[in-house]
Every structure is written in C-alpha cells, then in structure tokens.
C-alpha cells in the first residue's frame, strides 16, 4: 500500500498585478538605460498577478541587511505556514497530533527555533513528532521533501506532512546590486506562497506516491545560483537553463514511466513547475504535449508567479480541483544543480 496524498492546503499573502508592480515600483527601480529591457521582461514574464508579504508598493526592502530580512521572515512565514498546514490537515481529516513527521522546505529564510519547531508547538503537534527542515534546495525542493515524507510514512505507518513556505519578496535587490538580465528576470517572476500536503498510509482517497526520481547535471552548476549576501539572497539565472532541461527531461520522464508500464500518452495530468514561460515551452516541446496539458502550470504562473518550492504544489492543487481529476499525474520541478525531479502520482480511491 503506497503512501497517499490525502490533504493539501494553500496560503497566500496579499497580491498585486504585474502592471501595478511595474508602474508603482520597478519602473523607477530600473531607471536609465535598463528601463526598456526591464519593461519588456516584465511584460513577457507570463505573470499577471503576484503575492508578497512585503510589497514593494508599500515597503522597499532593497536596502535592508540580511539580518533584518531574516527577522521579518520569521514574523511573516509563521502565520502563513500555519494557515497552509491547518488547511491541509482539515482537508485530510486529521488533527495535528496525528502526525508522525513534520517536514518544512524553505530557501528564503533561516532561524532557530525555526518554522518546524514553532508551528509544531503552535498547532498542537505531539512532543514526539519528528521534524525535518530542508533548506536552500530552491524551486524543486517540494519533490525531495515529498519523497522524504513518503519514505517515512511507508516505513513507520504514520501520517506525515510537508510544508513549503517561501518569501522571495524579502530578497528584493538594490538596483545597482546586479545590472544583468538575470536579476531583472528574477524580479519579474518571483512571488510568495505557502503550500502543505498530508501523506497517510493505506488506501485512502487521494493520490498514491508511486515514485520520486531525480537527475543532476553538475556540469551546469553555475547556471542557477542563490547566493547569501549582506543584502539578502541574490538569484543567478542563466538563459541556458531551458537548454539544459531540454537535454534531460524526456529521458527522465520516460525512465520513470517505463518502470510502471506507462508512457507519456498514459499520463492524465502534468504538474510542471512554471519557472518561466520558456521552461514550460521546452517541457511541452520535449514531451510532445498539447496546450491543454500545461494549462494549469501556465495558469499558476499567470495567477501566482514563480513561488519557488510551493509552486508545483499549487499546480497539483489546480489539477485535483478539475471536475474530473486525472487518474495519474507527473510532477516536474527544476532547480540548482541543475537538478530535475519527477514524481509519479496515481489516483487511490479518488473521492467524487
């Protein structure tokens, strides 16, 4: 009996439109010769609205020290994470005290005691609950996090919960910090969110986790970076990332599906991390998918932006809300390494 995802909860801070963010802040942030380029990047990002615990329209953090940003992270992430976890538990019909493992993924803030300790206390988890914190893995962290929770549930026969919480808005960089396109792209895409999933043993209604697999191309390790600086964390994002994904994504997906007697044509739903429009274009092309296959992924990018690790869970939530949820789902996420993760889900006694 495979571990089954039986609950999912999402929490989002206030949102603003991409146009409002550009006109109200970034137009001035990228004044001078970079302005026209930045304007085009924002317009072509595929993002219509984004969320932020610290909106640049209200509060400019670009000059804050890393210490000040980390203090704000703890204050903002705890209530957002609490809301996502509470909703996931309610969706699964479980109490916080039922959990055997509580795992947290985040690359945008660090403190001890951290979210795992504070939320376990505030939500009434057992003193015996085991905790796991996964940090600085970036956009793909939800899938190795899910793999760890799934392994625990399979081995111990007790429920586990994964929380992904990212506050990218706290890492807005000064206009002179990096003048290349990479920084502009990051500022045009990234957003804040928290998402949580409950995994339980047995044949409950939900999605059974059949396999989690990965491949890392260390020859391209410098293509995606997340550097800790005195002024927050700074993203490096090479335009070559889609090219690297194009080399590896088909082989990885085919290998996982073949081990389960399936092909790409057998997959009913695709939860692809929307790192940006070009990444989705490459995945669609390499897997020979039609436009409808990535509708939820593109919709999440448009409505929420790239929220780092929670984003692929937001896409999964959209898929499970279809009038007729897909019986099988492939989840794909990408990040530093460069690393590709794939997860195969299969419907388990799906509720009507």
- What tokens does 259 get? 């081990």
C-alpha 25: how far from its chain's center? 25
Beta bridge partners of 7: 198
What is the three-class DSSP state of 168? helix
| Six-digit token string for 251 | 């082989």
Residue found by looking up tokens 């699964």 in the block: 92
Query: How much of the chain is in helix, strand and coil states, percent to nearest 5?
Result: 45, 25, 30
Distance CA 12, CA 14 (A): 7
Nearest to 29 by CA among 184, 227, 234, 230: 184
Which residues are identified as catalytic? 139
Between CA 293 and CA 305 the distance in angstroms is 19
By three-state DSSP, how is residue 234 classified?
Answer: strand
Residues 6+ apart with CB under 8 A from 7: 88, 89, 90, 91, 92, 93, 94, 196, 197, 198, 206
Separation of alpha carbons 270 and 296, rounded Å? 8
Beta strands in 59-129 (DSSP E): 101-106
Phi, psi of 188 (to 5 degrees): -85, -20
């Amino acid at each position: 009996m495979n571990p089954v995802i039986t609950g999912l909860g999402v929490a989002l801070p206030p949102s603003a439109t991409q146009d409002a963010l550009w006109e109200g802040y970034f137009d001035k942030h990228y004044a001078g010769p970079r302005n026209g380029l930045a304007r085009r990047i924002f317009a072509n990002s595929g993002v219509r609205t984004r969320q932020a615990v610290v909106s640049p329209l209200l509060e400019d953090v670009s000059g804050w020290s890393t210490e000040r940003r980390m203090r704000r992270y703890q204050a903002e992430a705890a209530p957002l994470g609490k809301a996502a976890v509470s909703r996931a538990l309610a969706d699964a019909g479980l109490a916080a005290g039922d959990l055997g493992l509580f795992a947290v993924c985040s690359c945008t803030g660090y403190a001890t005691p951290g979210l795992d300790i504070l939320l376990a206390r505030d939500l009434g988890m057992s003193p015996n609950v085991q905790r796991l914190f996964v940090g600085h893995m970036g956009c793909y962290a939800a899938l190795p996090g899910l793999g760890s929770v799934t392994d625990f549930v399979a081995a111990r026969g007790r429920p586990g919960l994964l929380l992904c919480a990212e506050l990218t808005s706290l890492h807005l960089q000064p206009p002179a910090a990096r003048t290349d396109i990479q920084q502009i792209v990051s500022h045009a895409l990234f957003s804040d969110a928290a998402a949580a999933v409950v995994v339980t043993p047995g044949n409950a209604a939900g999605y059974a986790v059949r396999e989690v697999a990965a491949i890392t191309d260390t020859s391209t390790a410098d293509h995606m970076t997340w550097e800790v600086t005195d002024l927050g964390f700074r993203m490096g994002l090479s335009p070559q990332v889609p090219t690297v994904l194009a080399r590896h994504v088909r082989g990885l997906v085919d290998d996982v599906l073949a081990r389960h007697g399936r092909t790409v044509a057998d997959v009913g739903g695709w939860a692809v991390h929307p790192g940006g429009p070009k990444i989705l274009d490459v995945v669609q092309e390499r897997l020979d998918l039609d436009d409808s296959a990535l509708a939820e992924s593109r919709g999440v990018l448009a409505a929420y932006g790239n929220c780092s690790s929670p984003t692929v869970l937001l896409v999964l939530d959209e898929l499970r809300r279809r009038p007729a949820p897909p019986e099988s789902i492939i989840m794909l996420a990408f990040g530093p390494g460069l690393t590709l993760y794939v997860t195969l889900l299969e419907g388990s006694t799906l509720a009507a």
